[in-house]
A and B are shown apart, each in its own frame.
Chain A
Amino acid sequence: MTDKFDKTPAGSPAGQVSVSKGATPAPENIKAIPVRHVGRWISGVVVIGLLIALGYAFSQGNIQWHAVGDKLFDSTVVAGAGRTLLISVLAMVLGVILGVVLAVMRLSKNPVTSWVAWLYIWFFRGTPVYVQLLLWFNLALIFPVLNIPFIYKDEMTDVMTPFMCALLGLALNEAAYMAEICRAGIQSVDEGQTEASHALGMTQGKTMRRVVLPQALRVIIPPTGNEFINMLKTSSLVYAVTYNELLRSTSQIGSTSYAVMEMLFVASIWYIVMTSVFSVGQYYLERRYARGSLRSLPLTPLQRVKVNLAAFSNRPSGGVSA
């Protein structure tokens, strides 16, 4: 935020006009009867009515609310939530790394790497992640033994533990999406940036690391945050490969204690808490990467509250417009 821009020449005609305007007495504000928004009132009442009906239905339902409270911090549930978090973070990290590699391959001048990356993305985006998980889970049916000559040899069922199935299934699928996000980000950086960097004597690699990627990140970060929040929820699908994450651990309690719905509520509460926490984190991350792209950063919610409070105490009175 600079205080001085030498773009407005001093003493321009526009400047003089506003000065002379300031000298005249303040005009009287228009007093008019505002338009009545009848529709808004009606729709508001209808929606509130529906909400009350919904609340009433739940209060009358056969729900053992105490079970929700009792099991919310049950050690099995907490461990399940921990595993959900673990598998999501690991799959995301692996997905991002692989995604960057795929994006660079896709943009490479080498037609072979570019084509292979395209093929990978085509397959993993073209098939449902649930199917991919089951493919990993049942891999032993077609390859009973995993044999990497001279390096590694073991029974496939010993390698493909539920954890490995979940990790590979989620990460490899995510990599395909991240590759496209990264590619879009890298391509969004103006060519003049690369040229300027080259003209200064920076090599291709340095240009990518120091100039292109930091700017591409601004474009890459927001969708990546969304991807991670999606990942937290998608990870519930690894139920299918018997990995004991949040949904599976809550469901097991549910089926043994007959509190099926209650345990689904417990799972929902944990999911919503986790996604909310990461949404807040994402907000601040985006803010950080907006540096240099905006003249001044938008206020954080906390700063906005402070400004609003300050505005309340000395709000100018008598304004017609909102």
Chain B
Amino acid sequence: MTIPMVKAEGVHKSFGAAHILKGIDLEVAPREVFCLIGPSGSGKSTFLRCINHLEKVNAGRLSVDGQLVGYRQKGDKLYELRDSEVALQRRDIGMVFQRFNLFPHMTAIENVMEAPVQVKGESKAVARARAERLLDRVGLSDKAGNYPTQLSGGQQQRVAIARALAMEPKLMLFDEPTSALDPELVGDVLDVMRGLAEDGMTMIVVTHEMGFAREVGDALVFMDDGVVVESGHPRDVLTNPQHDRTKSFLSKVL
């Protein structure tokens, strides 16, 4: 039995009085493409942000590659990790945001080079060579010198994927990567993600693209109101949902 890439046991999260996650249990195997679907406000983005500790879990255990996220366990006591230790954990986890969040004061290639140079202390030449390869991979080698505002949404999101890949993560988190895009730009981004999946990257994808989930996904979870309602192979869940809430959600989006 291999160590799961992500393991969540009874994960709870609240913002003040709002109880967002109410006990999430799930496992993501290495090399798996794991899709999270559900209505807005169901907690899927919040859960994703807990995985790289952008949000602190209130209760339960969450580990990535066998390592507890954000805490260190000694005996039966938990110790919060320091800022630098959390940063160290995040190196291995790439994240792609709904609103791209590229650094607007840097060109596309500088965006991709930033983390390897600043975090890993890589030389600029090495980082640049890799950044060129990655931009080529996402089909944007001719946009290397452009600032984010000079790129379309789809192009920005592909740069953002390249930026995350530059840290050579073992896990990629996608938070509705195509939701802010014009419909005709979605395809290019999904193509890049499909390529990543084929290369064996472990991916957790929060998405509304049911077609992508069905085609590329290895596992799918339907979340509603902070709990996992239904999970299984995407084809099974999407074509033959067992739960009423899944059925009513799918009838609205399919």
Contacts and interface: CB of A to CB of B under 8 A. Distances in A.
Contacts of A203: 83-84, 87
Contact of B99 (A192, A215, A291): A192
Given A2-B143, A201-B88, A202-B87, A196 B97 contact: yes
A128 interface: no
B94 to A, nearest CB: 8
Contact of B146 (A2, A201, A294): A2
Nearest to B160: A196
Nearest to B102: A196
Nearest to A217: B105
Interface string A140-169: 000000000000000000000000000000
Contacts of B151: 2
Contacts of A210: 114, 118
B135 interface: no
Contact of B152 (A6, A192, A291): A6
A195 B95 CA distance: 10
Nearest to A214: B105
Interface in A42-88: none
A193 B101 contact: yes
Contacts of A29: none
B105 A292 contact: yes
B152 to A, nearest CB: 5
Given A2-B151, A292-B147, A200 B83 contact: no
A189 B54 CA distance: 17
A291 B97 CA distance: 23
Contact of A293 (B143, B149, B182): B149
Given A211-B103, A293-B149, A295-B149, A7 B182 contact: yes
Given A211-B103, A294-B149, A202 B115 contact: yes
A1 B151 CA distance: 9
Interface string A181-211: 0000000001011011111111110100011
B164 interface: yes
A5 interface: yes
Contacts of A206: 118-119
Interface residues of B, number: 40
Interface range for A: 20 to 34
B229 interface: no
B95 A199 contact: yes
B197 interface: no
B87 A201 contact: yes
A9 interface: yes
B128 interface: no
Contacts of B94: 199
B150 A201 contact: no
Nearest to A211: B103
Interface string B88-132: 101101110101011111100000001100110000000000000
B43 interface: no
Contacts of A2: 143, 146, 150-151
Nearest to A210: B118
A205 B91 CA distance: 16
Interface in A266-295: 291-295
B104 A215 contact: yes
Contacts of A214: 105
A203 B115 CA distance: 11
Contact of B106 (A200, A202, A218, A292): A292
B163 interface: yes
Contacts of B146: 2
A199 B52 contact: yes
A190 to B, nearest CB: 8
Contacts of B93: 199
Contact of A295 (B97, B150, B160, B164): B150
Nearest to B146: A2
Interface in A1-53: 1-2, 5-7, 9
Contacts of A5: 152
B139 to A, nearest CB: 11
Given A2-B151, A6-B185, A295-B150, A201 B101 contact: no
B90 A292 contact: no
A195 B100 CA distance: 11
A262 to B, nearest CB: 50
A200 B119 contact: yes
A218 B147 CA distance: 15
Given A2-B146, A210-B118, A201 B90 contact: yes
Nearest to B82: A203
Nearest to A289: B105
B156 to A, nearest CB: 12
Interface of B: 52, 54, 83-84, 87-88, 90-91, 93-95, 97, 99, 101-106, 114-115, 118-119, 143, 146-152, 154-155, 160, 163-164, 167, 182, 184-185
13 contacts: A2-B146, A6-B155, A190-B101, A192-B101, A199-B90, A200-B90, A200-B164, A201-B167, A211-B103, A215-B104, A291-B105, A293-B104, A295-B149
